[in-house]
Amino acid sequence: MTDTPRPNSLDAFWMPFTPNKAFKADPRMVVRADGMFYYTPEGRPILDGTSGLWCVAAGHNQPKIVEAIRKAAGELDYAGNFNMGHPLAFEFANRLTSLLPDRLDRVFFVNSGSESVETALKIALAYQKSRGKPNKYRLIGRERAYHGVNFGGMTVGGITRNRMNFGPMVGGVDHLPHTHDISRNAFSRGQPKHGAEYADTLERLVQLHDASTIAAVIVEPVAGSTGVLVPPEGYLQRLRELCTKHDILLIFDEVITGFGRLGAPFATQYFDVKPDIISMAKAINNATVPMGAVAASREVHDTIIAASETPIELFHGYTMTGHPLACAAGLATLEVFKEQRLFERAAELAPYWEEALHSLRDARHVIDVRNLGLIGGIELEPRPGKPTARALEAFRICFDKGLLIRVTGDIIALSPPLVIEKAQIDQIVDTIRSVLDGLE
Ligand SMILES: Cc1ncc(COP(=O)(O)O)c(C=O)c1O
């Protein structure tokens, strides 16, 4: 036993992806949320320009979702899903399939985006083994990809800082180049014109490793966490063609793009490109209870089930897989999405969003603006010798002025709840312009 902690001490909580020392010297706290707003302890509203962490798609504290969680907690607080089941998990999996492409509808529940990626990668490997191709073990990720922080996702991911301190990671992984090319595509509205050919690098990796050793390619259809990298026109289609040609599975990590962010249920429908596996999380239940999921094609699922030589077909799962509260929240979330037509709403608002964001083209320090659906990226010229400093300062001042933005490197990334009003879009853009104006 150590000393009783001081009440309200900030020391014990080791905060994730946060400069702990700086935060604890100058904390920013919120204690309540409703609709488009967070509220500070003093009751000051903060307009949520980022849906929390890209996850509160339906806006905060939707009464229907809150009520569903309350009810579920009072009925069945917990039940595992190993060799025993509860109806909410089956019902939620069934309901999710209505948003998924045809025959991509076998759903495995997890508790986060990171776990959904690990699960997707393991399913891909298990599939190749099950169909008698155990040598197909390589996983291909992409530079500047973010697939969470667990070992598989970190390895296929492409963020140097996230990888460099954690040893040799998972073997047999290689990377495609990222598609970000400001020299040709700056200020693109929607998908950039140039860069479909970046997908052809997969041919080079196939020549290097041979397709008989490659299990799967994983990409975010739109990379969010590394600064809103929108795929060039034709890029995802080309990747799909090459994966099919070489008998390689294609995994879409839709942790950010899932659940209406682009104005369609998933990016797969938006781009009309069908992967074999989809990882998802975040907005799956409006981020009210930790949850993620993987959707696998029938081919992948049925092959693993049929080939199994043991009663358990896939040796994988979590204590919290399909937690009753998470499933109840998910079912209510899907109802809210439908009743409030939030995916359609995102599609309808997207042109206004695009216009508003691109009005920042001439704002101080801005070197690129990009957008798709209700996602926006504003790239700033870094301060000489001090990368990220300018964006971090912008983040702090925006918060003081009542706006939550997200910054990654020197990029402001925006992803408001799909319930946002046009006047609030204007508020986001006006605040960012005035903050950038005053910033050195
Ligand atoms: C594409 C993608 N995959 C995975 C993750 C990891 O999700 P989580 O933080 O829930 O583990 C994220 C988080 O932002 C993400 O954007």
Total Cβ atoms within 10 A of residue 103: 13
- Alpha-carbon span 278 to 203, nearest angstrom: 23
How many domains, the chain? Answer: 2
Q: Compute the distance from residue 310 Cα to the ligand 1 centre, in Å.
A: 32
How many whole angstroms from 2 Cα to the centroid of ligand 1? 35
> In the predicted model, what is the mean pLDDT of residues 257-264?
98
**153 CA closest ligand 1 atom index:** 4
In a domain, 113, yes or no: yes
For residue 375, which phi and psi values (nearest 5 degrees)? -115, 140
Mean pLDDT of 122-142: 98
| Residue 4, pLDDT score | 54
- Six-digit token pair at 12? 């014990």
Nearest CA to ligand 1 atom 8: 113
Residues 152 and 250 in one domain: yes
Q: Which atom of ligand 1 is nearest to the CA of 292?
A: 10
Residue 163, both tokens:
């990888």
Distance from residue 400's CA to the centre of ligand 1 (Å): 27
Mean pLDDT, rounded, for 325-349: 98
Among protein residues, the one whose CA lies closest to atom 13 of ligand 1: 148
| Rounded distance from Cα 113 to ligand 1 centre (Å) | 4
Please report the pLDDT score of residue 3 as a whole number.
54
- How confident is the model at residue 6, as a pLDDT? 55
Same domain? For 117 and 234 the reply is: yes
Residues 72 and 220 in one domain: yes
Dump pLDDT digits (tens) for 288-312.
999 999 999 999 999 999 999 999 9
Q: What is the best residue among 225, 261, 375, 415 to mutate for testing ligand 1's pocket, by most ligand atoms within 8 Å of CB?
A: 225
Residues 311-335 have a mean pLDDT of: 98
Q: What is the DSSP letter of 58?
A: T
pLDDT, position 150: 98
Atom number in ligand 1 closest to CA 113? 7
Instruction: Residue 364: give its domain's CATH number.
Output: 3.90.1150.10
To test the pocket of ligand 1, the residue of 51, 109, 117 to mutate (highest count of ligand atoms within 8 Å of its CB) is 117
Pocket test residue of 256, 284, 286, 407 for ligand 1, highest count of atoms within 8 A of CB:
256
Among 315, 339, 363, the domain boundary falls at 339
Q: What is the CATH number of the domain that holds 289?
A: 3.40.640.10
Same domain? For 187 and 261 the reply is: yes
Answer for the pair 294, 251: CB distance below 8 angstroms, yes or no.
no
Q: How far, in Å, from the CA of 440 to the mean position of ligand 1?
A: 32
Q: Which atom of ligand 1 is nearest to the CA of 115?
A: 11
The CA 336 to ligand 1 mean position distance, Å, reads 23
Question: Could you read off the pLDDT of 353-407 as tens digits, one per residue?
Answer: 999 999 999 999 999 999 999 999 999 999 999 999 999 999 999 999 999 999 9
Q: Are 33 and 99 found together in one domain?
A: no
Which of 289, 314, 339 represents a domain boundary (last residue)? 339
In a domain, 9, yes or no: no
Instruction: Please check whether residue 4 lies inside any domain of the structure.
Output: no
Question: Considering the domain boundaries, does residue 8 fall inside one?
Answer: no
Q: Are residues 31 and 153 in the same domain?
A: no
**Residue 276 pLDDT > 70:** yes
Asked if pLDDT for residue 1 goes beyond 80, the answer is: no
* CB-defined site of ligand 1, < 6 Å: 112-114, 117, 146-148, 220, 224-225, 253, 255-256, 281
Structure tokens at 121: 């990668």
366 and 388 co-located in one domain: yes
Q: Are 250 and 210 in contact (CB under 8 A)?
A: no
Please tell me the predicted confidence (pLDDT) of residue 289.
Answer: 98
Token digits for 178?
Answer: 């990222």
Q: Of the residues 339, 365, 390, which one is the last residue of a structural domain?
A: 339
pLDDT (0 to 100) of residue 58? 98
Q: Which helix (H) or strand (E) holds 226?
A: none
Residue 143 shares a structural domain with residue 48: no
Percent pLDDT > 70 in the chain is: 98
Q: From the alpha carbon of 282, which atom of ligand 1 is closest?
A: 10
- Residue 310 belongs to a domain: yes
Contacts of 250 (CB under 8 A, 6+ apart): 216, 217, 219, 239, 240, 243, 275, 276, 277
Query: Is pLDDT above 80 for 8?
Result: no
Candidate from 159, 255, 262, 320 with most ligand 1 atoms within 8 A of CB, to mutate = 255
pLDDT of residue 328: 98
Structural domain includes residue 273: yes
**Same domain, residue pair 110 and 214:** yes
44, 70: one domain: no
Domain match, 295 and 172 both:
yes
Shared domain for 364 and 329, answered yes or no, is no
Radius of gyration of the chain (CA): 22
In a domain, 15, yes or no: no
- Residue 12 counted as domain residue: no
Residue with the nearest Cα to atom 14 of ligand 1?
225
Query: 5 pLDDT exceeds 60?
Result: no
* Top mutation candidate among 147, 151, 226, 288 for ligand 1, by most atoms within 8 Å of CB: 147
pLDDT score at 123:
98
The whole domain housing 318 covers 66-339
